[in-house]
Structure 1
Amino acid sequence: MAVVWLLVLLENRKKMKTTNVPKILPLVSIIIPAYNEEDTIKESIESALNIDYPKNLLDIILINDCSTDNTKKIGESFLERGLIRMVNNNKNMGKAYSLNRTIDMAKGDLIACLDADSLVSPDALKKMISVLENPKIGAVTPAFKVRKTNNILEKLQFAEYSLNVFLRKIMGAMDSIHVTPGVFSLYRKSILKEVGGFEVGNLTEDMDMALKIHTAGYSIDSTTDAICYTYCPSKLKPLFKQRIRWYRGTIKNSIKHKHMFFNRKYGNIGLFFMPFNFISIIAVIILLASWGIYYFLNFSKLIWQLSLVNWSFDAIFQYFALEKLLFMFIYNLPVLPIMGLIIGSYTLYKSFNITGEKISDHKPGYFIYLLVFPLFLTLFWSAALIYEIAGVKNRWY
């Protein structure tokens, strides 16, 4: 897959920046769904209010999903000043229900969904609107980065998110974007209503929505210079729970939209991306398991041989000629991971470059991400598959 991304990059490297801002600006509704977000909701609303856009063309709606903390109180402080509109659910109904309820009362022809733990840059909206001048595009996603990088886990996710900005742009060039994240994705209201809104109860409603948009015959594009920010898990356990939800949602939505697999009607996303992505996930897990078994057996064999010579490493090295040891080392090198590491290094370098980041400012996260994080992701995928096969109850963590 990395080779495909590289080829698309070379073909589309001059198209990575957004086009000019349109002269006529439309009315935009910004929906902020929130449940117990007292730590971040104030900053999120303020970022929406500070967008460089005519205030009479902004319609900001906070949907409070029956929060039990101070989220409602914070929202009311903005409501009282006439800065936003606010809707309250009588009981906790979930993100998809909250979005659907608010879509019906949105005034704008365009709707942006902003998670309550995310921030939008002042110039992001205008840059994203320019993409929607193409009537074939139903939604556009921003370039979002990690807001806080205080520890190594957050630094790893910073590198991952930077890479994803780049990959989404490439997938946009292939018409294969399969997720419209809650970090300020922008939709045509008419299309949201046409596809029936967000599916209530879906673990990854943003992926389901993206696939429904493709099914309806529209494209999704991405930007590299409309910057937004989000907070990421700072500890391993919350990260694990988040990824289990994401990956189980991916599995479920892939099955739900299996009609797109190998279907020419849906272009690259159906004919190539979805089936290849699904198969590659399983292949990587099998490959990782096979390597683990292979090296375990070799290690066991070494232990057995050492036991035969009274645990003498000298005897082992005398038995194996240096040339044979060198041949065995080279022969057993995992060629595919090394190739992936080389391509991944270049791709991540380009990602940092495109998003205006310097690798020198993120060295620890950059190198550890390349060496370690893919293993973490593979383990997360393995766990998600096991959860699905075992029928573990779905949870919104």
Structure 2
Amino acid sequence: MWLLVFLFLVTTLILAWVLFGYFIVIWTIGLFRGKKAPAFPDSWPVLSVVIPCFNEQSGIIKKLENARSLDYPKDKLEVVFVDGGSTDATLSLLEDNIQQDEPYSIHRCAVSGKINQLNEALPLLKGEIIVSADADTIMEPDSLKWIVAEFSVSPEIEVVGAYVSPESSMNVELYYWDSQNKGRLMESDACSASIVVAPCFAFRKGFIDSFPEDVVADDVYISTLAHARGGKVVYSRLAKAVETRTPKDYSEFLPHKFRKSNAVLRESIRFLYLLPEMSFFCKMMTITRIAQQLFLPWGMLWWLALAGSLMTIFPVVRYDIVLFCTLTLLVLLLITARVFASVKLPEGVKPRKYTSAVALEGYFVTTFILLMTGLSYIFYTQNSNYNRLRSEDD
């Protein structure tokens, strides 16, 4: 009996940390951490924007116009469209619309796949700061200047991610984005964000010469690499972008999130051997994030099984322990909900309100995806060349 009680209490403690305690702690650290505000530098560094693209004829002109709208000194800017062997009109549209006096160029890659395209482009770039921007991402005009400003805060900052939000999508997808964005903002306020997101992020020239060929999630890889090297990752409130391709129904949502979940787990596990090299905060963050993926879905099922056993199987039922642990988790849930509600969002970003039904839907769908990710991890492999989601322009 004592062993069952012990296992139930330990499981409750782990769930309390992974689900709630981690966010309460990093939010509290962020409240008391003195942080230098980003400011525009006296002189602007040379900046390279690399835009991997493949069969983007429906939206490439929109992306070109977005690049033209970026407020950054033209003599300090280069924009490189890196094509991965498009078979549609992407290249011809770019060639016909790029003007000779514009700091834009096209690089044709021999192979497709975002990682391959980035690896071909990196040695060619001249910028002191390199920005990777997806072709389906619309950046705000001042985003490049704010990315530079974030880097100027400290030489420890190796990676900066723009605050990315979806243009329009299912409620459960919007809920997912909002909760993940708030988590990354809290981590960034406390010390360093666990990851940036692929649609728009930046890193210092020389930080990485090339990505390993088997990398799938460039955003997770480069963020975790920064942590392993003792650097910091900023998820910016000032540099903002919008992702225009998002799932519109569950037939798109589930495969998309499964692929993302697998990629995040794969890149996180890649760096486990470097855990001793990380700071205490990054150790805590990395272990917690992996536990959220691997332990959380199974841990909840295990907790329910133990609770049922304590209330039914043994001659002396322990309703008191089950009730105490349940109430503890509920109290932590309420505190965490208040913490997330208090997170400061970027200027101009209005907080969305969700019903309890959407929140529960998000929880159960996420748990299902995590279960499938864990079960299939050793069997499922992928690369950076995959079928993308549809956009409004497709």
Give the TM-score taking structure 1 as reference length: 0.79
Q: Of 342, 355, 368, which aligns to 1:350?
A: 342
State the 1:275 CA deviation.
1.7
Matched, 1:387 2:376: yes
Aligned length: 355
State the 1:96 CA deviation.
0.9
The percentage of aligned residue pairs carrying the same residue is 18
Give the letter aligned to residue 86 of structure 1: I
Contact 2:133 2:201 in 1 (8 A): yes
1:110 to 1:295, Cα distance in 2 relative to 1, 3 A: same
State the 1:297 CA deviation.
9.0
Q: Of 102, 120, 125, which aligns to 1:101?
A: 120
Contact 2:24 2:336 in 1 (8 A): no
Q: Of 42, 58, 73, which aligns to 2:61?
A: 42
Contact 2:109 2:120 in 1 (8 A): no
Q: Of 120, 144, 148, which aligns to 1:125?
A: 144
Extract unaligned runs of 5+ from structure 1: 302-326
Match of 2:6 in 1: none
Tell me: higher relative CO, structure 1 or 2? Use CA pairs within 8 A at least 6 residues apart: 2
Output aligned runs, 1:144-163, within 5 Å: 144-149=164-169, 151-163=170-182
1:64-84 Cα offsets, whole Å, 9 max, x none, are: 111223322332233355532
Output aligned runs, 1:221-260, within 5 Å: 221-231=234-244, 232-260=246-274
Q: Of 138, 144, 158, which aligns to 2:158?
A: 138
Secondary structure of 1:277's partner?
helix
Match of 2:297 in 1: 285
RMSD: 3.0
Structure 1 distance, partners of 2:250, 2:67, is: 30
Secondary structure of 1:372's partner?
helix
1:354 to 1:116, Cα distance in 2 relative to 1, 3 A: closer
1:239-292 Cα offsets, whole Å, 9 max, x none, are: 22222222222222233211233x2x3103543111232234333212332356
Extract unaligned runs of 5+ from structure 2: 1-21, 313-318, 388-394
State which drifts further: 160-169 or 60-69. 160-169
Match of 1:339 in 2: 331
Contact 2:229 2:278 in 1 (8 A): no
Structure 1 distance, partners of 2:281, 2:93, is: 42
Structure 1 distance, partners of 2:336, 2:176, is: 15
Give the letter aligned to residue 6 of structure 1: W
Larger Cα Rg: Structure 1 or Structure 2? Answer: 1
Output aligned runs, 1:187-198, within 5 Å: 187-193=203-209, 197-198=210-211
1:326-351 Cα offsets, whole Å, 9 max, x none, are: x89x9398435523532342233223
State which drifts further: 23-32 or 127-136. 127-136
State the 1:230 CA deviation.
0.9
Q: Of 164, 169, 174, which aligns to 2:191?
A: 174
Structure showing the higher helix proportion among its residues: 1
Structure 2 distance, partners of 1:45, 1:269, is: 40
1:234 to 1:153, Cα distance in 2 relative to 1, 3 A: farther
